Amino acid sequence: MNPLKLKASATPITSANFQGLQTMSNTEVKNYIANKITVGFAGAASNGSNTADLNIDTANALSGTAIGTFADTDRTEATGTHPATGAIATVTYYAKQITANDTGTITNRPLQYDTAIQQMTDAQIRNDIIDQAVTAMVTESEYTAGQYRLAGSAPSGGTWTSRYTITDVANGGNTTYYIWQKTAATTSPNADFRPLKTYSGNNVKQMTDTEIQEMIPYFRNRIISTSIGTYKIQASSPSPGTWVSMGSASDTREQVASVNYTGSYGGTRTYSNVAYAGTRTYTPAGYANTFAGTRTYSNVAYGGSRTYSTSYVTNFSGTRTFAGSRTYSGSYATNFAGTRPFAGSRTYSANYIRYFGGFVGGTFAGSRTYSTSYVSASTNFTGTFAGTRTYSNAGYVSVPTNFAGSFAGSRTYSANYSGSRTYSGSYANSFAGSRTYSGNYSGSRTYSGTYSGTYAGDTIQATKDTVSTVSLWVRTA
């Protein structure tokens, strides 16, 4: 049974048009009484700690019953990072609704007529007034407030207050969402629809707004006990019951894609205390590299072997120091100008052609074995050789001129030999084929000059993917 109100032939009610008392219709209950209860529900006391309030934080430290989460993921590397690891950081927002019982009481009770005018009981207030006020709020009657929405900007109609913030962090700019609560209705209620109460014995009068809002604790508790007006944050509609989406928020993240990178470097790079162990294999047939400048290797230790399984051509000027062994299983041709100290052994199992020009000074210690033809042309050579050289094929030809130097050790030739190594000038190298390196490397490298080249790897893109989307759902039935 709905509460009583004053009946009149016109509004506003005056003594001239007053006609008596009348039971309020459902529409009238949802107009004025629901307005005052829901506006009070969304007032200053709606601070995230009272019954049926929502709250949200990233520390999971607020009280209440969990109703869902929003996870924001973010790339830890800037847009354009190449190569990128694709690492992400995650911030989780924990949403809750307060479900503890509100212990508030009513001292001013509305009147109803049921064979006689009498005050409404708690059960009648809950069933005949509060249930209609809750329904008016969750269906967003123009006269109510109190409902929550999730959106980037304030919804239209009435007044909306931002309660909490959710941020989707991104390199190109953040997207901010808010938990909004409606704090003023879209349309003002009709004051003639105030319920009546008793006073001074058997007298009746209209209830004040403050007296009507004594029913707010009943309103809060009714939401929790019936679940109508409770909320969830999740991707799809909850169950059981009927749920309506009250807005959504999305987590976005920059894409990671493998792309070719082209760039140039000029200056000095220094690598210290570098350790490498394993195998590096370069298999594309179209590899080419050109370097002009100076390479300095300090505290370098290399153990292992280099295997060249296809044609190798190099032009070198500068200084190289090498310890270990090299095996050439394909045709090899090289032009040298500069200085190269070498200790170890070299084995050539195919054609070998070397041209020397302008050599002054040089030292070689170790052994060389040539198993097929060897051709060398040299001019203006001076230097020192210590060790053993063995040429096992008659195909060795040397064309020396102006040779002066000294030799200590033993030489075994099955053909003519003349030469030593002193190189000076610029360095340029080109290579097509594959290289396989295995062994251990430690030391430092200092490069000064200009580098250009292309390589492929993961890069942080400016474009973004939508990782996930969640909605704020309210139960309406």
Residues 114-169 have pLDDT tens digits of 999 999 999 999 999 999 999 999 999 999 999 999 999 999 999 999 999 999 99
Distance separating alpha carbons of residues 174 and 365, to the nearest angstrom: 66
Q: How far apart are the first and last CA of the chain?
A: 21
Query: Looking at the DSSP assignment, which residues form a beta bridge with residue 406?
Result: 384
Q: How far apart are CA 270 and CA 291, in angstroms?
A: 16
Could you give the number of structural domains in the chain?
2
Same structural domain, 387 and 346? yes
Q: Which of 180, 220, 181, 198 is nearest to 116 (CA)?
A: 198
In a domain, 461, yes or no: no
Q: Is residue 137 in some structural domain?
A: yes
Q: Is residue 163 part of a domain?
A: yes
Mean pLDDT of the chain: 75
Residues 264 and 205 reside in one and the same domain: no
**Pair (126, 269) in one structural domain:** no
Please give the biggest Cα pair distance in the chain: 139
**Token pair listed for 38:** 């829901």
- Integer Rg of the chain from CA: 44
Strand, coil or helix: 7: strand
The highest-confidence range among 90-104, 319-333, 350-364, 431-445, by mean pLDDT, is: 90-104
Average pLDDT over residues 211-224: 98
Q: How confident is the model at residue 390 (pLDDT cuts 50, 70, 90)?
A: low
Share of the chain above pLDDT 90, in %: 54
**pLDDT at residue number 63:** 97
Are 264 and 224 in the same domain?
Answer: no
Query: Comparing 325 with 93, which gets the higher pLDDT?
Result: 93
Regarding whether 315 and 247 lie in a shared domain, the answer is no
Based on the domain organization, do 283 and 384 belong to the same domain?
Answer: yes
Q: Looking at per-residue confidence, does 476 or 46 come out higher?
A: 476
135 and 187 fall within a common domain: yes
> Which of 39-48, 177-186, 364-373, 403-412 is least confident?
403-412
Contact between residue 229 and residue 134 where contact means Cβ atoms under 8 Å apart: yes
Give the type of residue at 254.
E
Helix, strand, coil abundance in the chain, percent, nearest 5: 10, 50, 35
Distance of CA 441 to the CA centre of its chain: 35
Nearest to 40 by CA among 285, 216, 257, 254: 216
Stretch among 63-67, 289-293, 454-458 having the lowest mean pLDDT: 289-293
216 in a structural domain: yes
The percent of residues above 70 in pLDDT, for the chain, comes to 59
Nearest CA-CA partner of 414 in 450, 435, 449, 389: 389
Greater confidence (295 vs 342) lies with: 342
Q: Report the pLDDT value the prediction gives residue 107, as an integer from 0 to 100.
A: 95
Q: Does 408 lie in the same domain as 303?
A: yes
Residue 93: domain span: 4-253+467-475
For residue 303, which of 330, 275, 329 has the smallest C-alpha distance?
A: 275
Do 300 and 372 lie in one domain? The reply is yes
Q: Amino acid identity of 309?
A: S
> Is residue 462 one of the residues assigned to a domain?
no
On whether both 27 and 154 belong to a single domain, the answer is yes
Tens of pLDDT, residues 252-289: 999 999 877 555 444 444 444 444 444 444 333 333 33
43 within a domain of the structure (yes/no): yes
Report the pLDDT averaged over residues 421-434: 36
Q: Residue 111 belongs to what H/E stretch?
A: strand 111-113
103 lies in some domain: yes
Beta strands in 309-434 (DSSP E): 312-319, 322-328, 332-339, 342-348, 352-356, 360-370, 374-377, 382-391, 396-399, 404-412
Both tokens assigned to 371:
């198993």
Least confident of 56-70, 216-230, 289-303: 289-303
Using 50, 70 and 90 to split pLDDT, how confident is the model at 340?
low
Statement to judge: residues 76 and 187 lie in one domain: yes
What confidence score (pLDDT) does residue 453 get? 52
Pairwise CA distance, residues 170 & 73, whole Å: 8
Same domain? 269 vs 190: no
Q: In what helix (H) or strand (E) does residue 470 lie, and over which residues does it extend?
A: strand 435-475
Q: Report the DSSP beta bridge partners of residue 190.
A: none
pLDDT at 201: 83
Backbone φ, ψ for residue 91 (5° rounding): -120, 125
